[in-house]
Structures are given as C-alpha cells and as structure tokens.
C-alpha cells in the first residue's frame, strides 16, 4: 500500500519586507496509512508551517508533496480547495465551528463544498456522525450553546464527514481541561483504530504520548522521528464504535 | 463527469443555501441591516413617490389641455403694454379683437364651430345678496365647444338664422349662472326663473351650470368658471355698449373691447396648426404693429407638456440614480465591515474546501438580498404613501394628484437589485482573496 503522505525536500520561505524567513528547510517525510503522528517542537520550529502545507492551505516554495495519488505542489487555488474538501479533515485548537449553523449543519459544511447536493441521505449520515461522537441529543444546538469538549467533538465529526485520507489536528486539546482532553484523545485513538491517519500538532508531552510516532522539529527541520514503543492506549476500545464508524464511512459519498 | 443537469441542480442548491444564510444573518443583525439598507429604502420610496406624483400632475395638465379642446384654436385680446413714450393718459383703452376680425376668421373653411366672448368683472345682485363675478357675453355655441354640463334649466339658445327666435337674436335679458354664483345668490331655492341684477338691468335665470374645475388659460392664470354669468352676446352689446368702465381703488378706467376671446373649433386635429397660422396671419394683417391679440393652440401645449414630462422623468431618473448610488455606498461600507468581521468564518470555509468563487457568491448574494429586501420595503412603503399622502392632504383641503406609476416599481426594484450586484461585487471579491491561513488566525 502506498504511503498516504509523501513529502520530499519540502522548503518554505516567507518573504517579509527585507528579510527572508526560512520556515521550513528541506524536509522529507512519509506517513503510511493508519499512522498516528504527533508533530512537536517549540514555537518557530516550523511545525505550523508544515501543518499548513500538509493541509493544502499554503504552497511550498520548493519540493514535492504527494497526497494519496495527487501531486499537490503545483496545483492552483481551486484544485487545492477541492483537495481539502475531499481528502482532508481539519481539527483546530479553537474548534472553528460556524456560529450561525447548528451542530448538524456544521458537520455538513465540507460536503457542501465537495459539490454534492445535500439530500435526506447526507443529512442522515451527518446525524449518525453526530450521534457517534455523542451529540445525538444536541443536533439543533448552536456552537455557543455547547461546551468546549462538545464543540471539539462536532469538529471531529465534521472532519470525518468526507472520509478524508488524513485528519490534521492542530493542538486539538489546547483549549480543554485535562479530563476533556483525555476524552478527545480517546476519540482520536478510536478513529485511528478504525484506520484513520492522523497528524497532530502539539507541544504537550502528555498528549504526544498517545501517538504512535513522534516527530520533533527545530529550526525548520526534523530533529527526531521516533516510534512510540508504548503508546497510551484506550482501555476499552469498543469494537462497536469502530465498526459503526467503519460502516458509516464505507458508504461515503464521493 | 457531472451532467449539466447535476451541475445546474448544484448551482441552484448552493445559491439557495447562500440565500438562506443571507436572510439568517440579516435577521441576526436586524437593526444594522435596516440602517444599512435605509439609503436604498429612502431611494426607492422617493423614486416611486416622485414618479407617481409627477405622473398625476402631468395627467392633470393633459386633462386640462384636452378639456380646452385639442381641436380648438383660441384667440384672445390682450392689453397692449402701456405706451410710456406718448406720455398721454388715456382714459379709455381701445384694443383687442373686433367683430370684423371675427367675421374674417370665420372665412377659414376648416372651422366647424366658433364662439365669440366678451368678459368683464361685475357685481351680481339679487335683492341684498351680492357676488363678485364675471359676466360673459357669448352665444349658444359656447355650450358645445366647452362641453358644458347643466344641473338645472338650459343654456343660452339661439338659431343660425337671424330672424328665428332665440336669446341672442331677440336680445333677451336671460342668463345662465355658474355654480358658485347660484349658490351665493340663491342658497335656499332653485335659481331658475329668478331674477338677478347686473348693472341695473334685470336678467332672468334660465339655467345653472354644474361645478367646473378651473382651467389654466393661455396667460397661465387659472380661470374660475364657477363665478361666471353667461348672457347673450347681443344683449351684452345692447345693455353695456362697447365701453366698459372699471372702478378700481377710487380711479375709473375704461376699456373698449369688442370681443375678449374667440374660440374656433377645427374639423380635424391635423388641420389645427394650419388654422392657428391662418388666424395669426389674419390678425397680423388687420392689427399691424398693435400686438393686442394672442393665438393659442392647445394642441401645441399638449406637445409641450409631453416634452416637459419627458424632461421631468429624466430629472427624476437622475435623482433616483443618485440616491441609489448613495444607498449602494452604504451597502458596500457595511459589506466591507461584514467581511472583516467574518474573516474567521471565511478562513474556516476555505479550509473546509470552499473555492474562491463559493466565497464571492456567498457575499454577493448577501449584498443582493440586503438591497432587494431594502428595495421591497421601500416599494411597499412608497406605494402606500402614494395612496396615503393625497388622502392626508385632502384633510387640509390641498389636492395632490397622484397616479401610481407602475414602471417606477419595476424601475426601483431593478435598480436596487443591480445596486446590490454592483456594490456587493468588490466586498465579495475582497472576501474571496483573503489568505486562508491569515483568515483562520484572525479573531
């Protein structure tokens, strides 16, 4: 099976008025299907730049990025948008839900831009996803009416709705207390158990300890790339959740 | 590959979603949206009201002219300007149309009707009751040419043959009263059969006219027909002579005018202008340099009024354009503020796969929805004002002619729609050009 993400000699320079900021220098990285990668590093190490490039929100100055079967490095803005809507799922630190939409409507958004019509069937799927992340009771609530943990679970459901190749999580627990963080991480682990590839940026060792692979960055380069031999595991990987998720995603609408 | 039908359905779907979203955010910021579309509302209200009142007064003016008769040529005597160089005080002014002029004018073969008239101000009395009115000496033809309607009795009658009996031929002392005169002199009884006194002469009332709306005459002064008393022309000549004396603040001036006005009815609208030219030529020849006559062709005024209407509508279009542009700037301003305020939302949407066009379309539709809602409110408001305003003014006895101009509704709705497109385009474009990463970081 080919790797999901393959980047080679990726470089990103920012050109500010007179200075050139070398945010990323010649980074190469391969992520296989089903991996759970934690990107770590101090601020300014280039981890956010790398995540933006992986998320197709930005284009590299140099190097190649192959996501699935597609070479992303030279795509125009519209094609990149299409890639984001089809193959990527985003989870942000500040949840980033649309305040005027309800829970279900928020989950639907990626489908909207994928160019598929919102039908009763897709609506049903979004409701099932909301139930899967434990928000079955709050389908018609707006983000303002939800707690941080609940909002992040909506964001997770939204990241799953298009059955992405990769889920990119930017400090998903950064705004949450430790108990809620634990819940969210357990949910991510379950997604990973169900076969989802996750790349997560964090600066907390506790959180990184859940991941199977930890990449540390410094000054725009990869410093270490370790397999986590004893990742924290979820005690009760409920097979019901995994199979429910799998069956949901297998009937994904493309 | 998608079929074109699917593509069409998809476009319909996304537009509808943007539309619903726009309505939602409009509802979320009710006051702000209202204020931002206020310019559009005022613009459409003023367009509809101005156009409707313009249409109404123009229709009134046209009606006026039509009542004067589109096939008529009106010849009037006008007082020549005072000859200051002579320095001589003239006690009796002698000017105007003569009976001979009248006969000469009648030589034109396209004339199918003619009314000679003498008019002067006079006190009208019945016992102790008095009304300041105007005596009009005329013939029976006046009735048809001016489309007179009577409430009681008959109009002056007479016959073409000089020896046949008739009011005029027999110089009868009979009169027909205008509505106000009848009301003033005979408030509690029917005027017909009663007697009135004009300058010591007694006249028997034979008819009373229906109330007539005033008509703007050639001089631009509105004639009040309701204070008129109509008597046979020959009687007028016989009783008054050719000289008429007017007492005015102690001094007495007199004038000698044979005929004050001659109305000629022409057989065909096509021939009215030629008839007017003919009348001018005849009078020029007969009066020489003495410019004591005017020839008015109402048909010319009709054309003039139509041109005036076109100019007026142009002016209104310019005003409407300006107010809508001002309204549009308001929309643009608020849309730019909205884009800044919702930068994060734009970032989220872009990250989740929205193309630039999706963002453009979303904000454009929002602007269009705003201006269209504004335009609709303005239209409803404007239309109700068009009906309400004349009614309110009528309470204060002011008449305001209003005629709902249907074009103005389409015009203002169309204009507010295009203002939305035009002024929404730039903010929408700005929104679509935002860098997703920057936008996501925005708070």
pLDDT of residue A134 exceeding 90, the answer is: no
- Residue from B376, B374, B366, B346 nearest B424 by CA: B366
Question: Could you tell me the pLDDT band of residue B407, with boundaries at 50, 70 and 90?
Answer: confident
Give dist(CA A108, CA B311) in Å, integer: 56
**Hey, are the CB atoms on A58 and B437 less than 8 Å from each other?**
yes
User: Cβ contacts of residue A193 below 8 Å, gap of 6+?
Assistant: A234, A237, A242
Average pLDDT value over all residues in chain B: 83
Q: What is the pLDDT of residue B189?
A: 87
Q: How far is CA A134 from CA A110, A221, B244, B255, B424, in A?
A: 20, 39, 107, 106, 41
Q: Determine, yes or no, domain membership for A190.
A: yes
**Hey, are the CB atoms on A85 and B437 less than 8 Å from each other?**
no
**Hey, are the CB atoms on A117 and B10 less than 8 Å from each other?**
yes
Q: Residue A51's domain is classified under what CATH number?
A: 3.40.50.300
A-chain residues near B342 (CB < 8 A): none
* Model pLDDT for residues A77-94, shown as the tens digit of each residue: 999 999 999 999 999 999
A90/B contact by beta carbon, under 8 A: yes
How many CB atoms sit inside 10 A of residue A205's CB?
10
Nearest to B351 among A82, A90, A117 (CB): A90
Q: Determine, yes or no, domain membership for A22.
A: no
Q: Which of A28-32, A114-118, B227-231, B369-373 has the weakest average pLDDT?
A: A114-118
Q: What is the pLDDT of residue B87?
A: 47
Q: What is the mean pLDDT of residues A105-111?
A: 91
Q: What is the pLDDT of residue B3?
A: 74
The strand pair at A166-170 and A197-201 is best described as: parallel
Question: Could you tell me the pLDDT band of residue A237, with boundaries at 50, 70 and 90?
Answer: low
Q: What is the mean pLDDT of residues A138-146?
A: 93
Question: What is the side-by-side strand order in the sheet with A20-31?
Answer: A20-31, A5-15, A62-67, A70-71
Nearest CA in chain B to A164: B352
Q: Which of A132-136, B60-64, B247-251, B378-382 has the weakest average pLDDT?
A: B247-251
- Residue from A250, A234, A163, A153 nearest A193 by CA: A234
* Model pLDDT for residues B291-301, shown as the tens digit of each residue: 888 888 888 87
Count of structural domains, chain A: 1
pLDDT of residue B418 exceeding 70, the answer is: yes
**Hey, are the CB atoms on A100 and B21 less than 8 Å from each other?**
yes
A158/B contact by beta carbon, under 8 A: yes
A76/B contact by beta carbon, under 8 A: no
Question: Could you tell me the pLDDT band of residue B159, with boundaries at 50, 70 and 90?
Answer: low
Counting Cα atoms < 13 Å in the Cβ hemisphere of A101 gives 20
In percent, how much of chain B has pLDDT > 90? Answer: 18
Q: What is the pLDDT of residue A93?
A: 92
Q: What is the pLDDT of residue A254?
A: 40
B-chain residues near A57 (CB < 8 A): 350-351, 436-437, 440
* Model pLDDT for residues A33-81, shown as the tens digit of each residue: 999 999 999 888 889 899 999 999 998 999 999 998 889 888 999 999 9
Give dist(CA B416, CA B410) in Å, integer: 10
Q: Could you tell me if A122 and A109 are in contact, meaning their C-beta atoms sit under 8 angstroms apart?
A: no
Nearest CA in chain B to A86: B353
- Phi/psi of residue B229, each to 5°? -125, 125
A-chain residues near B16 (CB < 8 A): none
Residue of A1 and A12 predicted with greater confidence: A12
Burial of A1 (C-beta count, 10 Å sphere; 0-12/13-18/19+): exposed
Q: Determine, yes or no, domain membership for A14.
A: no
Question: Could you tell me the pLDDT band of residue B252, with boundaries at 50, 70 and 90?
Answer: low
B-chain residues near A162 (CB < 8 A): 353
Q: What is the pLDDT of residue B297?
A: 86
User: Cβ contacts of residue B356 below 8 Å, gap of 6+?
Assistant: A77, A78, A81, B432, B433
Tokens 């206020």 — which residue? B38
Residue contacts between A and B (CB atoms, under 8 Å) = 67
**Three-point CA angle A138, B363, A125, nearest 5°:** 30
Tokens 């005029």 — which residue? B168
How far apart are the CA of A232 and the nearest CA of chain B, in angstroms? 30
User: Cβ contacts of residue B359 below 8 Å, gap of 6+?
Assistant: B346, B349, B350, B428, B431, B432, B434
Q: What is the pLDDT of residue B368?
A: 92
- Residue from A94, A62, A76, A109 nearest A170 by CA: A94
Positive or negative: CA dihedral B25, B26, B28, B31: positive
pLDDT of residue B249 exceeding 90, the answer is: no
A175/B contact by beta carbon, under 8 A: no
Q: Could you tell me if B296 and B92 are in contact, meaning their C-beta atoms sit under 8 angstroms apart?
A: no
> Where in the sequence is the domain holding A203, given as residue range(s)?
35-60+76-250
Q: Which of A191-205, B46-60, B240-254 has the weakest average pLDDT?
A: B240-254
pLDDT of residue B163 exceeding 70, the answer is: no
CA A12 remoteness from chain centre: 21
How many CB atoms sit inside 10 A of residue B198's CB?
21
Q: Determine, yes or no, domain membership for A19.
A: no
Q: What is the pLDDT of residue B120?
A: 83
Write down the number of H helices and E strands in chain A.
8, 10
* DSSP code per residue over B109-146: TTEEEEEEEEEEEEEEEETTEEEEEEEEEE-TTHHHHT
Q: Could you tell me if B301 and B65 are in contact, meaning their C-beta atoms sit under 8 angstroms apart?
A: yes
Give dist(CA B139, CA B80) in Å, integer: 26
Q: Determine, yes or no, domain membership for A194.
A: yes
A144/B contact by beta carbon, under 8 A: no
How far apart are the CA of B436 and the nearest CA of chain A, in angstroms? 6
A-chain residues near B344 (CB < 8 A): 96
Q: What is the pLDDT of residue A253?
A: 44
In percent, how much of chain B has pLDDT > 70? Answer: 91
pLDDT of residue B259 exceeding 50, the answer is: yes
Q: Determine, yes or no, domain membership for A3.
A: no
- Phi/psi of residue B264, each to 5°? -110, 130
Positive or negative: CA dihedral B15, B17, B20, B26: negative
Q: Determine, yes or no, domain membership for A67.
A: no
A-chain residues near B355 (CB < 8 A): 77-78, 81-82, 113
**Hey, are the CB atoms on A100 and B25 less than 8 Å from each other?**
yes
- For chain A, the 3-state helix, strand and coil shares in percent, each to the nearest 5, are 35, 25, 40
- Pick from B23, B24, B351 the residue to mutate for testing the A interface (most A CBs within 10 Å): B351
**Hey, are the CB atoms on A100 and B352 less than 8 Å from each other?**
no
Q: What is the pLDDT of residue B161?
A: 53
Q: What is the pLDDT of residue A201?
A: 94
Give the three-state DSSP class for B223.
Answer: strand
B-chain residues near A92 (CB < 8 A): 440
Q: What is the mean pLDDT of residues B241-247?
A: 68
* Model pLDDT for residues B272-328, shown as the tens digit of each residue: 888 888 888 888 888 887 888 888 888 887 788 788 888 887 887 788 778 888 889
Nearest CA in chain A to B28: A100
Q: What is the pLDDT of residue B363?
A: 93
Torsion, CA A27, CA A32, CA A37, CA A42, rounded to 10: 0
B-chain residues near A24 (CB < 8 A): none
Counting Cα atoms < 13 Å in the Cβ hemisphere of A150 gives 17
Reading the block at residue B301, the tokens are 């005024």
Q: Which residues of B touch A (CB under 8 A)?
A: 2, 9-10, 13-14, 17, 21, 24-25, 28, 344-345, 347-358, 436-437, 440
How far apart are the CA of B350 and the nearest CA of chain A, in angstroms? 7
Burial of B215 (C-beta count, 10 Å sphere; 0-12/13-18/19+): middle
**Hey, are the CB atoms on B349 and A109 less than 8 Å from each other?**
yes
**Hey, are the CB atoms on A52 and B437 less than 8 Å from each other?**
yes
Nearest CA in chain B to A96: B348
pLDDT of residue A135 exceeding 60, the answer is: yes
Find residues 2-21 of chain A whose CB sits inside 8 Å of chain B: none
Tokens 């509505």 — which residue? B179
- For chain B, the 3-state helix, strand and coil shares in percent, each to the nearest 5, are 55, 20, 25
Q: What is the pLDDT of residue A97?
A: 94
Q: Determine, yes or no, domain membership for A17.
A: no
B-chain residues near A118 (CB < 8 A): 13, 17
Tokens 């609709």 — which residue? B376
């Amino acid at each position: 099976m080919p790797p999901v993400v393959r980047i080679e000699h990726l470089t990103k320079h920012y050109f500010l008025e007179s200075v050139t900021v070398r945010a990323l220098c010649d980074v190469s990285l391969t992520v296989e299907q089903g991996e759970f990668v934690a990107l770590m590093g101090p601020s300014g190490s280039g981890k956010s730049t790398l995540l933006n490039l992986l998320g197709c929100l930005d284009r590299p100055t140099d190097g190649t990025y192959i996501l699935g079967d597609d070479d992303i490095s030279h795509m125009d803005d519209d094609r990149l948008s299409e890639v984001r809507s089809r193959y990527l799922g985003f989870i942000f630190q500040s949840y980033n839900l649309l305040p005027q939409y309800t829970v279900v409507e928020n989950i639907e958004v990626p489908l909207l831009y994928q160019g598929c019509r919102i039908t009763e069937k897709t609506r049903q799927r979004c409701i099932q996803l909301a139930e899967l992340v434990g928000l079955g009771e709050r389908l018609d609530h707006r983000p303002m009416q939800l707690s941080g943990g609940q909002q992040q679970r909506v964001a997770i459901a939204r990241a799953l709705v298009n059955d992405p190749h990769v889920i990119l999580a930017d400090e998903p627990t950064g705004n949450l207390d430790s108990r809620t963080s634990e819940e969210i991480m357990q949910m991510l682990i379950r997604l990973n158990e169900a076969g989802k590839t996750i790349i997560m940026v964090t600066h907390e060792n506790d959180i990184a300890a859940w991941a199977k692979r930890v990449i540390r960055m410094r000054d725009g380069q990869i410093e270490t790339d370790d397999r986590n031999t004893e990742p924290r595991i979820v005690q009760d990987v409920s097979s019901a959740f995994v199979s429910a998720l799998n069956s949901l995603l297998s009937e994904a609408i493309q | 590959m998608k079929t074109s039908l699917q593509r069409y359905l998809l476009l319909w779907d996304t537009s509808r979603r943007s539309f619903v979203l726009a309505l939602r955010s409009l509802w979320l910021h009710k006051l702000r949206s209202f204020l931002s579309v206020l310019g559009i509302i005022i613009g459409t209200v003023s367009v509809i009201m101005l156009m409707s009142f313009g249409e109404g007064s123009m229709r009134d003016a046209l009606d006026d002219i039509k009542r004067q008769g589109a096939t008529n040529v009106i010849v009037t005597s006008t007082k020549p300007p005072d000859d200051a160089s002579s320095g001589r005080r003239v006690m009796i002014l002698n000017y105007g149309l003569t009976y001979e002029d009248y006969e000469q004018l009648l030589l034109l073969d396209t004339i199918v009707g003619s009314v000679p008239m003498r008019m002067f101000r006079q006190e009208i009395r019945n016992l102790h009751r008095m009304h300041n009115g105007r005596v009009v000496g005329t013939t029976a033809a006046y009735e048809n040419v001016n489309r007179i309607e009577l409430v009681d009795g008959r109009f002056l009658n007479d016959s073409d043959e000089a020896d046949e009996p008739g009011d005029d031929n027999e110089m009868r002392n009979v009169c027909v009263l205008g509505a106000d005169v009848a009301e003033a002199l005979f408030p509690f009884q029917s005027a017909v059969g009663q007697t009135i006194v004009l300058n010591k002469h007694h006249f028997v009332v034979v008819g009373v006219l229906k109330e007539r709306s005033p008509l703007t005459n050639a001089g631009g002064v509105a004639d009040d027909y309701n204070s008129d008393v109509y008597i046979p022309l020959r009687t007028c000549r016989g009783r008054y002579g050719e000289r008429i004396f007017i007492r005015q603040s102690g001094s007495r001036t007199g004038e000698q005018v044979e005929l004050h006005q001659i109305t000629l009815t022409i057989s065909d609208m096509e021939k009215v202008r030629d008839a007017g030219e003919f009348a001018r030529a005849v009078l020029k020849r007969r009066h020489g340099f003495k410019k004591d006559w005017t020839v008015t062709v109402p048909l010319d005024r009709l054309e003039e009024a139509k041109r005036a209407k076109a100019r007026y509508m142009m002016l209104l279009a310019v005003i409407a354009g300006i107010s809508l542009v001002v309204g549009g700037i308001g929309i643009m301003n608020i849309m730019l503020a909205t884009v800044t305020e919702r930068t994060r939302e734009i970032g989220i949407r872009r990250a989740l796969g929205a193309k630039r066009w999706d963002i453009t379309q979303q904000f454009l539709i929002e602007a269009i929805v705003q201006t269209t809602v504004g335009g609709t409110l303005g239209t409803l408001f404007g239309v109700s004002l068009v009906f309400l305003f004349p009614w309110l003014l009528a309470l204060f006895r002011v008449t305001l002619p209003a005629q709902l101009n249907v074009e103005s509704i389409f015009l203002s709705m169309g204009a507010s729609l295009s203002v939305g497109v035009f002024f929404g385009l730039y903010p929408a474009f700005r929104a679509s050009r935002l860098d997703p990463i920057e936008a996501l970081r925005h708070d």
